[in-house]
Amino acid sequence: MKILVTGGAGFIGSHTVAELIAKGHEPIIVDDLRNSEGFVLNKLEKLTGKKITYYPYDCGDIKLMREVFSKERPDGIIHFAAYKFVNESINYPLKYYENNVGSLVCLLKLVAEFPVSTFVFSSSCTVYGDPDLIPVTEKNPIKPPINPYGYTKQIGENCLKDFHVNFPEMSIVLLRYFNPIGAHPSAMLGELPLGVPSNLVPYVTQTAAGIREQLTINGNDYDTPDGTCVRDYIHVMDLAETHVLSLDHAKSKPQLEIFNVGTGIGNSVLEVVKTFELCNKINLNYKFGPRRAGDAPVVYSDNQLISKSLNWETKYSLEDALQHAWKWQQTL
């Protein structure tokens, strides 16, 4: 299938593009590189051995996006393009509503004009807020979000649910990610934060590389085994695979489906730091600081539904992800 991939030069997007090509699909990337770099596209082409169609557009610009739809006539869409940092969303909420919600609405307007068979949406476990039930299943209640980023994902899901009522012939898959980490095993692709990282693992790797003087762990007084937040860290390659499997699965029957995408295992922040030190034989300079606004103490997934529905299982361990992330950092 010809697949339009918005945000295809980003962290998860680039790994998914590589996986799409490996499985015989033709990706069309739309990415204005506000959260990435142009060299990612060159690395993708070198890695895959394919020339990739690319448009340097803001996917919230309906005039430019209409040009893409008219010319390419994609069979499906994977929509990654969005701002993604919890703390930034608290400080700049309108920026998040404008981009994350506006770009999706723009795409759906065009899907109404140029029908596609499948739409895979990059959602997030933040839609669950601070969950009452752990592990988190798809039946967990959608609680009021604890940050604007999470709310933009809730709004995005509701947009797609309402859209599907009027376009029931489409297949729509909402993938609720937990915490993507790692890099391509080849070290040709990886996470590329612009400026100071907001996510744990790139801050860890940059501290190990001497780019950051010290890692601050936000809070060590949570009600968890070691006092630090517990999260579900999934290797980006396992996450990328779920997008391709979702496309293939969605062709079988027009419907809207929701899947958690995680390992089903909770690891604390301190555990991640200690595992990184152990598997890469590096001592990290870190300290404990105050809690960060908008962080839930414990969030990890129940992934049984996606495992059964897509015949999917994780292939990479936490150690694999941290070794691959460090290998990638050393290429930068």
Active-site residues: which are they? 149
Strands of the chain, DSSP E: 2-6, 26-30, 53-55, 76-79, 118-124, 171-177, 179-181, 215-218, 230-231, 233-235, 256-261, 267-268, 286-289
Which helix or strand (DSSP H or E) is residue 110 part of? helix 102-113
Strand partners, 179: 233
Ranges of H-type helices in 127-223: 148-166, 200-208
Distance CA 288, CA 158 (A): 38
Token pair 């922040």: residue: 269
Give how far the C-alpha of residue 90 lies from the chain's centroid of Cα atoms, to the nearest Å: 19
Contact 213, 250 (CB under 8 A): no
Contact 153, 126 (CB under 8 A): yes
Residues with Cβ < 8 Å from 63, sequence gap 6 or more? none
CA dihedral 235, 236, 239, 240 (to 10 degrees): -140
Distance CA 274, CA 228 (A): 12
Give residue 130's identity as a one-letter amino acid code. D
DSSP structural state of residue 17: H
Indicate the burial class of 166 (C-beta count within 10 angstroms; 0-12, 13-18, 19 or more).
exposed
